[in-house]
Chain A
């Protein structure tokens, strides 16, 4: 009788364990803990550029210039170790055309931005260290170049082979500012969840020239040129392509 009871119990047990209850199987995993990682970062930014001296010069001389935000693409490479991060960035402004010009009457002089580029190095610290996000405060230094070309659009017909015989009435082929700057930004990035992964990133920052520097030209040696201390607010969105490591390989 006793043996029969044991056998019945043995048979009954698997039936009991079949009830897949979350109570027994579910646990919440700890947040991912990759000790270090490399990341490659393509990104895009909208930039509000402050160049007070040159812009007031443009306004004073009825020069039309672009008042919209600068659009910038950037590429970065970085290394993260725990909550610290070091990055190197370079960025390039996308072409900004003000054409087609106003053809009726006297066309205004146009200042078209040619170059907006720079390079910077950053150090950052993650203040959040949350399950799904990292929030880095980054600080860095870099160098920036901002360039205009000034010309007056005309309806003049010019055969290409003779283009050098013509010189437009008013033109400044190149007007540029080279400056060193400091840069501070707040970066929110998804926390890495896998060894090789993508992460969404966004960044809000400000860069400012170390000091006011004179505008220069590649075509002329300028004397008494206006001086500007560049300032740029930027909102950047991008992607991390990262490779992460849990610990040092033994």
Chain B
């Protein structure tokens, strides 16, 4: 009985520290864009997370964002893109998600392809990339 009580108390403590049960641990999103031909001339494209304008991402750059757990939608939007292919991810608290974005251009079409990447593949790719300077903080619409 004593052990049960102790474990109950400790679980309460663990839940309360450092986050309250109402504020679950946030997840991390690392969104990165593949290097392109003369990346320096590449335009930074804006993206939305859950339909909220969040920032811009240039080629050969990455951006690190906190995410609330749940189902999230990442979408790049720009007149340059003829097609939109949003990415949906089920986000769990405390996890880090790596998402790679690649501009795919054909004769009449252009779109941003995105895919979640495993950490062991994403980390070597990220090592050569630069962090995106501004736009890191979420902006209201």
Chain A positions within 8 Å of B, measured between CB atoms, are 19-23, 26-29, 128, 130-133, 135, 190, 193-194, 197-200
Contacts and interface: CB of A to CB of B under 8 A. Distances in A.
Given A128-B37, A131-B36, A133-B37, A22 B87 contact: yes
Q: Interface SS of chain B: helix, strand, loop or mixed?
A: strand
B107 A26 contact: no
Contacts of B34: 131
Interface residues of B, number: 18
A193 B106 contact: yes
B104 interface: yes
B90 A23 contact: yes
Contacts of A27: 115
A199 B107 contact: yes
B63 interface: no
A23 B105 contact: no
Given A132-B105, A135-B37, A193-B106, A21 B90 contact: yes
Interface in B96-123: 100, 102-107, 113-116
Interface of B: 34, 36-37, 87-90, 100, 102-107, 113-116
Contacts of A19: 90
A170 B89 CA distance: 80
Q: Which 9 A-B pairs have the closest CB atoms?
A: A130-B37, A132-B105, A26-B115, A133-B37, A198-B107, A28-B115, A22-B88, A128-B37, A22-B87
Q: Interface SS of chain A: helix, strand, loop or mixed?
A: loop
B89 A22 contact: yes
A131 B37 CA distance: 8
A250 B88 CA distance: 41
Contacts of A28: 100, 102, 113-115
Given A23-B89, A27-B115, A28-B113, A131 B104 contact: yes
Question: Which of B87, B88, B100 has the largest number of chain A CB atoms within 10 A?
Answer: B88
Contacts of A131: 34, 36-37, 102-104
Contacts of B102: 28, 131
Given A19-B90, A130-B36, A26 B114 contact: yes
A132 B104 contact: yes
Contact of A21 (B89, B100, B106): B89
28 contacts: A21-B88, A21-B89, A22-B88, A22-B89, A22-B115, A22-B116, A23-B89, A23-B116, A26-B114, A26-B115, A27-B115, A28-B113, A28-B114, A29-B104, A29-B113, A128-B37, A131-B36, A131-B37, A131-B102, A132-B103, A132-B104, A133-B37, A135-B37, A190-B106, A193-B107, A197-B106, A197-B107, A199-B107
